[in-house]
Amino acid sequence: MEDNCLLGYTPDKLQQLVCELGQKPFRAKQLQEWIWKHRATDFEQMTNLPPALREQLVAHYTLRPLQVVEVSASSTGGTRKFLSRMRDGHLVESVIIPAAVGQGGAHSDRITLCVSSQVGCAFGCKFCASGLLGLTRNLTTAEIIGQILAAEEISGTRVDNLVFMGMGEPLANMDNLLPALTIIMDEHSLNIGARHITISTSGNVPGLKRLAAFGRPLRLAVSLHGACDEVRNQIMPVNKKWPLGELIPALQEWTRTSKHKITLEYILIQDVNAMLPEVDKLARIAHLLNAKVNLIPYNTVEGLPWVRPTEAACRFFCKTLIAKGVPVTMRYEKGHDINAACGQLRLRREEQNAQQKH
């Protein structure tokens, strides 16, 4: 898909653009200031650019790649999920997560944005709503970044932290992800530091190696969800392509150059991976990678057969893992009442659209 939205242009690409349009290189800096410092939504706002250049930009380029069509607010915790329509009509989801209450009960204005990287997902994890409709296409660089600006407009505050844990497999869209990260981290663009960015993968080994070669101190989260091939094969088809025997060495290589601990994401599913024998296997992998574990009780998705374990079972699993010397957090999904699990809001809207057509 052609990306003519300037949100997807790195500083170098903006400079190339203005030169191709017959302008002096310094115009790129002015254009960049309008896009990022002033958050311009209209080229006519860019009053220090020559009229001829503005006319060219109006004729061939855009400043916003998506339109927010629905916002759902959780009744608890302040989480907000929004659905965006791309210019071709496809829908993606993003989730605004407020910071936790600080010491002394003080509230922080800092927010985290859960970003999508694809329309749908081809990896087909059996517990995830994103993959139910399959993969439609990759998001462009501008569409990835457009979610951040939309979140700031909805929340009225700056996005400080990004987690690429929304719809899609980020490492399957590297051609658009890497330029997006360049713009996000650029001090004259979004200026979000690498340590405030977490990239999640379900186990895409080639993408992981390419991300490592990018050479920035990003944080890495791995959607493990099973500590042996038997379990992962049952719920994560990606494991048949890149089994643990390939994934773990790639993660060990990552740890040799990264200063951040890998986070192993582990959704607890009753009678699948939440039994005590799985604790030993998970602990072995965590120690091997010097990783921390984030336990997430399963967030029920309508139409899927998986069951959320009881709270007591989840806490026992957590305590047993801690007793084995593994750093563990347990995260109950925020926004459970707004279909905040990845892909649920889009799935509901697509079903409504299909019913209307019939």
Cα(264)–Cα(289) distance, rounded to whole angstroms?
Answer: 10
Catalytic residue list contains 128: no
* CA dist list (Å): 199 to 205, 223, 292: 13, 11, 15
Give the CA count within 13 Å in the CB-facing half-sphere of 8: 21
Both tokens of 212, joined, read 């490592």
Among the listed residues 317, 326, 201, 324, the one whose alpha carbon sits nearest the alpha carbon of residue 265: 201
DSSP 3-state of 86: strand
Contacts 24+ apart (CB under 8 A), 34-37: 35/6, 35/7, 35/63, 35/189, 36/188, 36/189, 36/190, 37/188
Q: Report the interhelical angle of 277-289 vs 244-257 (nearest 10°).
A: 40
Among the listed residues 324, 265, 322, the one whose alpha carbon sits nearest the alpha carbon of residue 293: 265
Cα(358)–Cα(354) distance, rounded to whole angstroms?
Answer: 7
* CA dist list (Å): 44 to 24, 32, 131: 19, 15, 41
Catalytic residue list contains 253: no
From the candidates 20, 44, 93, 152, which is the catalytic residue? 93
**One-character DSSP codes across 50-77:** -HHHHHHHHHH-BS--EEEEEEEE-SST
From the candidates 114, 128, 318, 342, which is the catalytic residue? 342
DSSP annotation of 7: G
Question: Do the strands 111-114 and 159-164 form a parallel or antiparallel pair, or are they unpaired?
Answer: parallel
Give the CA count within 13 Å in the CB-facing half-sphere of 139: 37
| Active-site residue set | 93, 342
